[in-house]
Amino acid sequence: MTSTTWSLVQYSTGGDEVRLGFSADGLVRSAPAELAGLDTMTVLQDWSRYKALLTDLDVDALPVVEDATLLAPLTYPNTVLCAGVNYYDHAEEMGTARPNPAAEPFFFLKSPTTTITGHDTNIAIYDDGRSRVDWEAELGVVIGEECTGVSPDEAARYIAGYVVANDISDRGVFHRDGAVFPAFEWDWVGHKSQNSFCPIGPGIVPAWHVPDPHALKIRLDVNGTVKQDSDTSQMVTNVYQLISAASRIMTLAPGDVILTGTPAGVGMPRQDFLHDGDVVTVEIEGIGTLTNTIVLK
C-alpha cells in the first residue's frame, strides 16, 4: 500500500470529457490503464473489485496532468442524505436542547444532480431581499457498497471514503407564513436544494487513509475570516451510527453521500450571511480544502 495520502478526483483538460484521476501533494495525476475511461461512480459501483487495485496503487508513479481542471469528484450519487443538528456546539449556538446521542438522528435530503458542484466553482444566490444564504462546513461520507439495515459495528466496511462538503442553506426561504397546515411551514427544498448548494471536493479520500473520522479538525473561513473552527469529535451521532440509522430507512447505494452535520460558527445566530463576491473555504484535516465563490444569479 502506498504511504502517500491521495484523493480520487474527476478532472477535464479543456473539453467536455470527464476523466478519473488522483490528487496528491497538490498535483493531479492521470489514472492507470486499468481505470482508463472510467468515472468515479463506475469505480464505486464495483468498489470491492477496484479497492484491491487502489490500495496497492503507487500514485507517485502516475503521470502528472499539467492542465487539469478539477470537477466535482462524484457525478452523481443517487442520494445526498444530511444529518441535522449533529454537533453539540452547533446545537448550543442555535439555542436547541442538547441533543441526545441515543435518539434517532434527523435526516433531510439534497437533490444530487442540481446541488452538487466542485472545488473552485461559483455558487449563485438570489439578491431578492428574502434570501439569507449561510455556510455549513461538513464531513461527507461516501458509500462504497450497498447496505440495508447494518449495525454500527458493521458500518465501516461499507465506507469508500470521505470528502469535504459545504451544506449551503438559504435561511430566508426556510419558513413559510400562511401555510395550510403547520407541517408545511418549513420549506426544506428551497432551504437546501437550490442549484450548487452542495459543493464537495476536491476529491474523495479513501477510508484507509482516515484512521479515525471522529478526530479531524474542521474549519471554514469567509474571505479569510474564520467562522467555524472545531473538530469532528463534537458529533452527536458518529459516522457509523449515522450509516446504521440511514440504512434502516433506505438501502444505501454505492456513491451515496451522507453529510454528517456542521459545527458551531454558522451565520444564522449572528445574522451574518453570504454576499456577492464572498470566497468560502472549508478545510478538513487529512481530507482536503474546498473553495467556492458566491455570485448573484
Tens of pLDDT along the chain (297 residues)? Answer: 456 799 999 999 987 889 999 999 999 999 999 999 999 999 999 999 999 999 999 999 999 999 999 999 999 999 999 999 999 989 888 888 888 889 999 999 999 999 999 999 999 999 999 999 999 999 999 999 999 999 999 999 999 999 999 999 999 999 998 899 999 999 999 999 999 999 999 999 999 999 999 999 999 999 999 999 999 999 999 999 999 999 999 999 999 999 999 999 999 999 999 999 999 999 999 999 999 999 999
- The CATH code for residues 80-296 is 3.90.850.10
Q: Where are the domains of the chain?
A: 7-71, 80-296
Q: What is the grid cell recorded at 120?
A: 473552485
Q: Which residues lie below 8 Å from residue 49, measured CB to CB, with a gap of 6+?
A: none
d(CA 144, CA 157) in angstroms, rounded, equals 8
C-alpha cell at 179: 401555510
**DSSP-based three-state secondary structure for 3:** coil
Chain-centroid distance, C-alpha 209: 17
Residue 147 carries which DSSP code?
A: B
pTM of the model: 0.96
φ/ψ region of 53 (left if φ > 0, alpha if ψ in -120 to 50, else beta) reads: alpha
